[in-house]
């Protein structure tokens, strides 16, 4: 009998509750607003209600065995504690695992959202079969997770890889984290918009006629398809910065591959040439063609599939 699990993917804007089987297949899903301003207790009540709903939404099958929660912040796994989430103000030291376990009558594991994404793409997606792998998510920010020797890497602090805050340019823009020149200032949706705002402020040529602050990766992608110089240059810059950081990580750890996921990966065809150009020139540890540069396959399902990957050995 196929085992089933519940998954919760908590973002700064949206939360997704899912029901997923042990093969990483998402059987049911519900998205709702994070409502960052509300007290954690109310949001947790919402989460539980949506999880109960997805648990029964799918066609007949066994009840879910456990829940994995992907959180955009610092967690203490042993104590089941969300320590802090930068994009969800007011959530500090919330004992989420205990609370949700009591509400749902299931074991609950907390994990960083980038780590769940990485587990999903590795076990069920683009990274299948690789032993040592970095998964990068290009979204509002830049995150991800590392698989080392076929296991999710957690490090000494159960932290995320924080690849978005790897430095690319000491004299670069100020990042949302307060530091200067982080990868995220260029290679995230926020970073792409920032580059667009700069481009427009400089009066450089583009077919974009909207407001600078309305620029999204989707708009930039559409512009790039029409050959728009602004869009192509911005994606090229993102690619170069990614190539710089990813080559450093590949060289450091002797990785076989990198999977690029997250919303911005939709524009990977325009990011990839510059990324690969820099990566291929800077990779030292092996012939560049031995390093796989892969586009994520699961999209928004990746963290939900990752929940199954996290739980299937234990529950």
Among 21, 24, 41, 48, CA closest to 32:
48
As measured in angstroms, the least distance from the Cβ of 119 to a copy of itself is: 16
Distance CA 113, CA 272 (A): 24
Nearer of residues 16 and 188 to a copy of itself, judged by Cβ? 188
Among 45, 123, 58, CA closest to 301:
123
Applying CB under 8 A, which residues contact a copy of itself?
74, 131-132, 146, 148, 153-163, 165-170, 177, 179, 240, 244, 247-249, 251-256, 281-282, 284-286, 290
Residue 37 three-state SS: coil
**Tokens describing residue 46:** 């919402």
Nearer of residues 84 and 101 to a copy of itself, judged by Cβ? 84
Distance CA 119, CA 134 (A): 10
DSSP string across 109-165: EEEEHHHHHHHHHHHHSTTTT-SSEEEEEESSSEEEEEEETTEE--TTTT----GGG
As measured in angstroms, the least distance from the Cβ of 250 to a copy of itself is: 9
Say if CB 231 and CB 221 are below 8 A apart.
yes
Nearer of residues 186 and 224 to a copy of itself, judged by Cβ? 186
Nearer of residues 183 and 310 to a copy of itself, judged by Cβ? 183
Nearer of residues 79 and 281 to a copy of itself, judged by Cβ? 281
As measured in angstroms, the least distance from the Cβ of 89 to a copy of itself is: 17
Among 222, 165, 227, 160, CA closest to 191:
165
Nearer of residues 100 and 255 to a copy of itself, judged by Cβ? 255
């Amino acid at each position: 009998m196929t085992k089933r699990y519940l998954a919760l993917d908590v973002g700064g804007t949206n939360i997704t509750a899912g029901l997923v089987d042990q093969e990483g297949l998402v059987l049911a899903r519900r998205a709702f607003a994070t409502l960052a301003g509300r007290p954690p207790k109310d949001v947790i009540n919402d989460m539980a209600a949506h999880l109960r709903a997805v648990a029964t939404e799918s066609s007949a099958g066994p009840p879910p065995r456990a829940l994995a929660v992907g959180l955009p912040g610092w967690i203490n796994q042993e104590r089941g504690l969300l320590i802090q989430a930068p994009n969800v103000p007011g959530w500090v030291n919330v004992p989420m695992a205990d609370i949700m376990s009591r509400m749902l009558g299931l074991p609950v594991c907390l994990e960083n959202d980038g780590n769940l994404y990485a587990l999903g793409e590795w076990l069920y997606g683009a990274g299948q079969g690789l032993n040592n792998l970095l998964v990068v998510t290009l979204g509002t920010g830049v995150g991800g997770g590392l698989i080392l020797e076929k296991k999710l890497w957690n490090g000494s602090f159960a932290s995320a890889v924080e690849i978005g805050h790897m430095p690319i340019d000491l004299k670069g823009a100020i990042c949302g984290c307060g530091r200067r020149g982080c990868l995220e200032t260029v290679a995230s949706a926020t970073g792409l918009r920032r580059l667009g705002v700069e481009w427009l402020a400089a009066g450089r040529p583009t077919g974009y006629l909207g407001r600078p602050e309305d620029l999204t990766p989707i708009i930039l992608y559409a512009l790039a398809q029409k050959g728009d110089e602004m869009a192509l240059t911005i994606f090229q810059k993102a690619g170069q910065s990614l190539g710089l950081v990813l080559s450093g990580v590949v060289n450091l750890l002797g990785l076989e591959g990198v999977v690029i996921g997250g919303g911005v990966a939709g524009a990977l065809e325009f990011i990839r040439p510059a990324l690969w150009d820099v990566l291929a020139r800077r990779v030292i540890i092996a012939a560049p063609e031995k390093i796989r540069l892969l586009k994520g396959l699961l999209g928004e399902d990746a963290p939900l599939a990752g929940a199954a990957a996290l739980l299937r050995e234990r529950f």
